[in-house]
Chains A and B, each alone.
Chain A
Amino acid sequence: MDIQKYISSGVLELYVCGALPEGEGREVSKELKKHPEIKKEVEEIEAALSQLSSAAAPYNPNEVLKSIQDKIGNKKVHRLPQEKRSRNNWVVYIGWAASIALLIGLFSLIKDNNDLRKDLNQSNAKKVVLEEEVNEAESKAEDAEGNKQEAEKMLAAIRNENTVKVKLKGQEKVAPNSYAAAFFNPEENKLIIDAKGLPEPPEGKVYQVWSLTFDPLKPTSVGLLDRFDQNEKKLFQLANANSSQGFGITLEPTGGSKTPTMSQLYTLGKVTG
């Protein structure tokens, strides 16, 4: 398929607008997963349209979020008091039979009781919400602490005097604008890949790092850049016990490959000094 021709046909714009019949839309979804160029194009179209309609919004609806969250939250809470009401009706029935005086007394008791129950339910619901918030804050703090420790470890490894930096240049054919860097410490067999300059891998694909020796060229897999989209700093720590003369990064199917797919070689660089 001629990708450029496909892109310039205008089918992707219709796809984002949702103006294609379902069958054609499915076709585009398939192509999009196969070709990163098409995905990139679709994302740019989406960004442009999304900005345009944001400009037509009367104001930024951030405030509205709160009331939506309340509604979503309330749905769960409101189911609780339902069952208890039928028993109150029965009590009321007895009240009728006994006497009007008693009834009046009972009514006020029931009302109090109901109010108390309502309060209790509300307090319970509030408690659940608060507990959730506390849990969330705790897990956030743990995450942040973990991230910080991780970042400090990486920084120390990069600064280590035995660590050499290897620039991995984007390869003309596949990814001329991409770049990456490898920080290799042969004493401690540590390898950190900075992949900030690589595009997000398409679905079903993963970046694989190769240690290279030259004359003759021999690639050895060092590992995968797993969970690329979730790694915020795009720093990946790998172990490398090879006496590497260079490093390369290729795009491979999920799970990685035994040998590198050279036609999908994104970046490459030699260890110097």
Chain B
Amino acid sequence: MQPDGLISQMQEKNPKAFERIYERYSESLFGIIYSIINDKVLAEEILQDVFMKIWDKSDTYDSSKGRFFTWTLNIARNASIDKMRSKAFKNKKKNLTADYFVDILEEKSNFVDRVDAVGVKKYIKILKPYCKKIIDLLYFKGFTQAETSEELDMPLGTVKTRNRNCIKKLREILVE
């Protein structure tokens, strides 16, 4: 459920509301940022910038354009991509190959002592290879439908229906 009450309180600059919003969205945005930048320290820096932006610009969120979650996603993805393109980052990470949320999940699931390792494994198991690709582009990297279609050499309509089926699989895990 979208916390519309909290969002409007944050737009009126209520710091408590901001705190709730942070608690609610920070972890998933952190995952998005990390999957793009693949560096924990930088990801944390970007997360800070992203939430400062969410606070500063909250009055520009317009519910007729889309979900609040989607609005925050766009901020997070843009900030990460900007960072990745910056010179400092390029110098630091010369040999960086494109990263991918599945790699992160796999790496995470290898820590046997982690409580959530089992949960993470479920995602890897349930998603078909094309799902991993499609969700990576559309959700983690913020590609448009048209860009995804081009990247995967797949008709527009197929992108749409496959993405739905893949996310359906994810929802099955949630219900369990």
* Known A-B contacts A57-B31, A62-B23; A22 and B65 likewise in contact (beta carbons under 8 Å): yes
A167 to B75, CA, bound (A): 47
* In the assembled complex, A198 has its CB within 8 A of some CB on chain B: no
Q: Which of B79-87, B90-98, B141-149 lies on the face that meets chain A? A: B141-149
User: What distance in Å separates the Cβ of A139 from its nearest Cβ neighbour in chain B?
Assistant: 10
Interface string of A227-266 (1 = CB under 8 A from B): 0011000000000000000000000000000000000000
Residues 115-134 of B at the A interface (beta carbon under 8 Å): 116, 119-120, 123
* In the assembled complex, A10 has its CB within 8 A of some CB on chain B: yes
A45 to B174, CA, bound (A): 10
* In the assembled complex, B30 has its CB within 8 A of some CB on chain A: yes
User: What distance in Å separates the Cβ of A78 from its nearest Cβ neighbour in chain B?
Assistant: 15
A50 to B27, CA, bound (A): 8
A203 to B7, CA, bound (A): 14
Enumerate chain A residues within 8 angstroms of B144, measured Cβ to Cβ: 19-21
A46 to B2, CA, bound (A): 9
Q: Chain A contact residues: over half helix, strand or loop, or mixed?
A: helix
* In the assembled complex, A136 has its CB within 8 A of some CB on chain B: yes
* In the assembled complex, A217 has its CB within 8 A of some CB on chain B: no
User: What distance in Å separates the Cβ of B57 from its nearest Cβ neighbour in chain A?
Assistant: 13
* In the assembled complex, B1 has its CB within 8 A of some CB on chain A: yes
**Does B44 contact A64, Cβ atoms closer than 8 Å?**
yes
User: What distance in Å separates the Cβ of B122 from its nearest Cβ neighbour in chain A?
Assistant: 9
User: What distance in Å separates the Cβ of B38 from its nearest Cβ neighbour in chain A?
Assistant: 10
Enumerate chain A residues within 8 angstroms of B152, measured Cβ to Cβ: none
* In the assembled complex, B113 has its CB within 8 A of some CB on chain A: no
A19 to B104, CA, bound (A): 23
**Does B63 contact A45, Cβ atoms closer than 8 Å?**
no
User: What distance in Å separates the Cβ of B74 from its nearest Cβ neighbour in chain A?
Assistant: 5
* Known A-B contacts A52-B135, A64-B48; A29 and B163 likewise in contact (beta carbons under 8 Å): no
Enumerate chain A residues within 8 angstroms of B148, measured Cβ to Cβ: 19
User: What distance in Å separates the Cβ of B83 from its nearest Cβ neighbour in chain A?
Assistant: 16
Interface string of A202-245 (1 = CB under 8 A from B): 01000000000000000000000000011000000000000000
User: What distance in Å separates the Cβ of A147 from its nearest Cβ neighbour in chain B?
Assistant: 16
* Known A-B contacts A21-B144, A52-B170, A229-B5; A67 and B48 likewise in contact (beta carbons under 8 Å): yes
**Does A136 contact B28, Cβ atoms closer than 8 Å?**
no
**Does B167 contact A55, Cβ atoms closer than 8 Å?**
no
A136 to B4, CA, bound (A): 22
* In the assembled complex, B155 has its CB within 8 A of some CB on chain A: no
Residues of B within 8 A of A (CB): 1-2, 4-5, 15-16, 18-19, 22-23, 25-32, 34-35, 40, 43-44, 47-48, 51-52, 55, 63-67, 69-70, 73-74, 101, 104-105, 108, 116, 119-120, 123, 135, 138-140, 142-145, 148, 160-161, 163-164, 167, 170-171, 173-174
Residues of A within 8 A of B (CB): 8-22, 25-26, 28-30, 42-62, 64-65, 67-69, 71-72, 136, 200, 203, 229-230
The 9 closest A-B pairs by CB, nearest first: A10-B164, A53-B31, A56-B31, A10-B160, A57-B31, A57-B30, A48-B170, A50-B28, A54-B27
